[in-house]
Amino acid sequence: MGLLLVRYSEIGLKGPGVRRYFERVLIRNMIAALAKERVEALIEGQYGRLFVTTDRPEEAASALRRVFGIASLSRVEECTSDIREVRALGLRMATPLLKDGASFRVEARRNGVHPYTSMQLAAEVGEEIYEANRQRGVRVDLHSPDQVVYVEVRDRRAYVFTEYLEGPGGLPMGSQGRVVAVIEGERDALAAWMMMKRGCRVLYLGDEEGAMRAIERWDPEPRTVSGPLERAVHAHRALGVVVGWSLQELQSRRTLNVDVPVYHPLIGMGEEEVEGRLKMIVE
């Protein structure tokens, strides 16, 4: 079995009650993303962290990197918080990654009460790695090492990992209300993506094939609506409408006939920025 440590960013800034609600929404979205890829997993929460246990960690990580609200995640190995076990695990994970003459450093952080500080923990694990590999010319470099070994101790458990995988960040989709996105092309898909990142549940009016393919990579349960825009807004109690218009299009096209706010997430972007973001969401 593999273990993934999942971090969120903005959720952690909320008060306890709101944070718990956001965590529930985030976990629900994580389950949906994993289910879409038919990956079975167990998700458990600790303060400020979520842990995913699965026998398909690589596929799970790939799916979770497209879940809004996740800042980053790492595949981790765990042991107790006993310093001897942490030293041994750090050595076991670091040695295969260090080439002869390579440099490394250890970064450590803690949550809870322990008989060592974070700096002492980093020094202890670093010493273990260095002494075991010194004959290979391995050295410590605190500024620009070839390899970083990360240690995170949370109460009685310790987690060691060697990389951060970035997520999209933002807020959990569905935590901030419902909007209708008018989908006529890829720009509209990007506009919908940006509203999803801010926590909105998006309903899609239109079925432009390329745009919907991009959306389906990020929304495991896409929901399309039909009919006139105003009727769709009222029928689904949407709080706004989203379009991917540029400033020039806004000046030339008619105003949408709806009595809710119309959001234009791309209106301040140049074409180069739009193309760059579109490339990111479709890859």
Q: Identify the residue whose tokens are 């956001």.
A: 22
Q: Which one-letter DSSP state was computed for residue 200?
A: -
Instruction: Of 10-14, 34-38, 202-206, give the lowest mean pLDDT range.
Output: 10-14
2-77: which CATH number, 3.40.640.10, 3.30.70.1510, 1.10.3720.10, 3.40.50.850? 3.30.70.1510
Mean pLDDT of all residues belonging to the chain: 93
**What are the pLDDT digits (tens) for 176-193?**
999 999 999 999 999 999
pTM, entire model: 0.90
What average pLDDT does the segment 82-95 reach?
Answer: 97
* Cα(219)–Cα(221) distance, integer angstroms: 5
In the chain, what are the domain boundaries?
Answer: 2-77, 82-155, 178-282
pLDDT classification of 108: cutoffs 50, 70, 90: very high
Whether residue 167 has pLDDT greater than 70? yes
pLDDT classification of 12: cutoffs 50, 70, 90: low
Whether residue 252 has pLDDT greater than 90? no
**What are the pLDDT digits (tens) for 17-76?**
888 899 999 999 999 999 999 999 999 988 789 999 999 999 999 999 999 999 999 999
Fold (topology level) of 82-155: VC0802-like (3.30.2130)
Task: Collapse the DSSP code of 69 into the 3-class scheme (helix H, G, I; strand E, B; otherwise coil) and give the result.
Answer: coil
pLDDT classification of 207: cutoffs 50, 70, 90: confident
Q: What is the largest CA-CA distance in the chain?
A: 74
pLDDT in the model for residue 102: 97
CB atoms within 10 A of CB 279: 9
Q: Cβ neighbours of residue 68 under 8 Å, at least 6 residues apart?
A: 29, 168, 169, 170, 171, 172, 173, 196, 197, 199, 218
Instruction: Of 17-21, 163-167, 257-261, give the lowest mean pLDDT range.
Output: 17-21
Q: What share of the chain is helix, strand, coil (3-state, %, to 5)?
A: 40, 25, 35
Fold (topology level) of 178-282: Rossmann fold (3.40.50)
